[in-house]
Amino acid sequence: MLNNIGLPGLLLIAVVVLVLFGRGKISTMMGEVGKGINAFKKGVKEETEAIESNTATAARDVTPNAEKDKV
């Protein structure tokens, strides 16, 4: 169904949305979408860094305490 929209259909949809919501409302909504995307990227980056940090900490020394004294 969506394969047959084409350029004229997309332009018609854009005009209808612009008429219904107005330029200011659409601009505000797109700004909020941008903020949401940035917050998502920041959250993913922070979680990835936290996981890498925990993995690096856990991988530092896995030798049991009894084995450490033998050296």
- pLDDT tens, residue by residue, 7-29: 889 899 989 988 988 888 888 88
- pLDDT tens, residue by residue, 43-71: 999 999 888 887 766 666 666 776 666 65
State the alpha helices, DSSP H only, in 1-71: 6-21, 23-59, 65-68
pLDDT of residue 47: 92
- 26 Cβ contact list (under 8 Å, min separation 6): 17, 18
- 29 Cβ contact list (under 8 Å, min separation 6): 21
